[in-house]
Structure 1
Amino acid sequence: MDDRPGRKQGDERLWPLGSSERNRWMVSERTADLVRPPIEPRPLTVQTDGKEVTLDLSRTAIVIIDMQNDFCHPEGWLSHIGVDVTPARKPIVPLQRLLPALRGQGVPVIWLNWGNRPDRLNLSPALLHVYKPSGAGVGLGDALPGSGAKVLERGSWSAAIVEELAPGPSDIHVAKYRMSGFQDTELDSILRNLAVTTVLFAGVNADQCVLCTLQDANFRGYDCLLLEDCVATTSPDYCMSATLYNVRQCFGFVVRSEAVTSQLS
């Protein structure tokens, strides 16, 4: 229930009903007003790789994917299994510049992070096999030797956002446990309640969780912009090249964060 005061309509008072100011009814015992409040457009024009694009800040959100200790910290899971996480840390500095500017414009910041249940009942054998193909070693939900941290377990240090990217108090957090952040999560409902039509994408890995989530957003009708300097991957370089090509060709636009921040300022 919205905590804003109700309004008078004739001889009765209507009260707001909805989790977001952008998607709510006004109701009383006798009346339901389903007309949503108008959202005034705030156009922002940016230069993408292919063309000049004008988006509506009033209907835009940024989704940051998997910037977590297990993926990006030198003491996290990927590093433990021998992956050089240096590339996964590249989005940190540009996001440190971009996120305050977006928050200052009221753009929702959504952290979409891998977060297993402690009992792992949200993980199928097929998913566990991706990260533990021989059945041995340290996979999803297993304890890291030494620290004992459970790999990507919701609420743990392993699944926490890297400390360089401290979330703001009004940021939104969504847990996922598939490559796509739309699969079996609240992400789509949250975006629709916020009246979002355009999504900026950041995080890791660009060719895996970021791309899968962006593709699903495109399939659901969202406008998609991939922030090229705010995404990274520990995969070979050709994987990033293919990701950028496919986003430009099929799923949206590719833009650098400075093209956004320069216009915001």
Structure 2
Amino acid sequence: MTKIIRNSAAFIIVDAQNFVLHEKGLAAQWGAWKFAREKGIVKSTVKAIERFRAEKIPIIFVIMELRPQISQALNANLPDIDFWKPIKGLDFTKITREEGEFQGRVIDEFIPHPEDIIVAKHHTMSGFHGTDLDKILRSLHYDTLLFGGAITNLCVEGTVRGAFDRGYNCVVLSDCVTSISEEAQSFATEFVFPKFGRVCTSEELEIM
């Protein structure tokens, strides 16, 4: 069992949005949405969210926010690499407001509550880079961070690394993070994350 102290912990869910975790998402071709459902990761995360809310552990959603008004100019300066291609190739003048809102929304299964905290990041993997996440956590005196979300070895890993570099105690919930394949998931949870903190399932977490 991995023990945490209730009053010093927060659950950070990274990029759990339709664009990556819905079959109609702009990045659906990566396959994270399919992996998450086949492996029961969505269901495990729903249970974890319900448990943490009951335990009064805050839920913090870190989201990738696109800004259509300036994205055309930004896109021209994005590197031509696979991670950015789904965004770099978009013509925002042809995307309706409704479609844009759908892509950016947290998936229905995780729908945020009014008391949850939303932190927006822009064109970056880490939830700490260029955001007020660190300031929020320190002002509320949270030093232990539980992690879930997508994609395990991309934006989740980037955010965990950012937390580690800032001195936080990191706990990655292996049944609440999703990658695109078993190989990618296992490498992150078995080799990378243990270097930065602890790894356990949400059910193995003991709250004190």
Query: Aligning the two structures, in what range does the TM-score lie when normalised by the shorter sequence?
Result: 0.7 to 0.9
Which residue matches 1:109? 59
Q: Distance in 1 between matches of 2:176 and 2:182?
A: 16
Change in 2 beyond 3 A, CA 1:221/1:117: same
Change in 2 beyond 3 A, CA 1:124/1:220: farther
Deviations 1:205-244 (A, max 9, x none): 000000110011011000000000000111x433222211
For structure 2, the residue ranges without an aligned partner over 5 or more in a row are: none
TM-score, normalization by structure 2: 0.85
Deviation at 1:122, TM superposition (A): 6.4
**Identical-pair percentage:** 28
Structure 2 residue 105 is the aligned partner of structure 1 residue 160: yes
Q: Distance in 2 between matches of 1:149 and 1:222?
A: 40
Structure 2 residue 174 is the aligned partner of structure 1 residue 228: yes
Aligned length: 200
On the 8 A contact 1:206/1:232 being kept in 2, the answer is yes
Q: Distance in 2 between matches of 1:237 and 1:68?
A: 21
Aligned to 1:157, what secondary structure does the other structure show?
helix
Instruction: Please point out which of 68, 72, 75 is paired with 2:21.
Output: 72
Task: Indicate the structure with greater helix content.
Answer: 2
Max Rg structure: 1
For 2:30, give the aligned amino acid.
Answer: V
TM-score, normalization by structure 1: 0.68
Aligned ranges for residues 1-265 of structure 1 at < 5 Å?
A: 47=1, 53-79=2-28, 82-84=29-31, 85-89=33-37, 90-118=40-68, 119-120=70-71, 125-127=77-79, 129-131=81-83, 138-140=86-88, 142-143=90-91, 148=95, 156-177=101-122, 178-234=124-180, 236-244=181-189, 245-248=191-194, 250-260=195-205, 263=206
Higher relative contact order (CA 8 A, sep 6+): 2
Aligned to 1:158, what secondary structure does the other structure show?
helix
Aligned to 1:199, what secondary structure does the other structure show?
strand
Q: Distance in 2 between matches of 1:149 and 1:87?
A: 28
Deviation at 1:127, TM superposition (A): 4.9
On the 8 A contact 1:115/1:176 being kept in 2, the answer is yes
On the 8 A contact 2:76/2:88 being kept in 1, the answer is no
Cα-Cα RMSD: 2.7
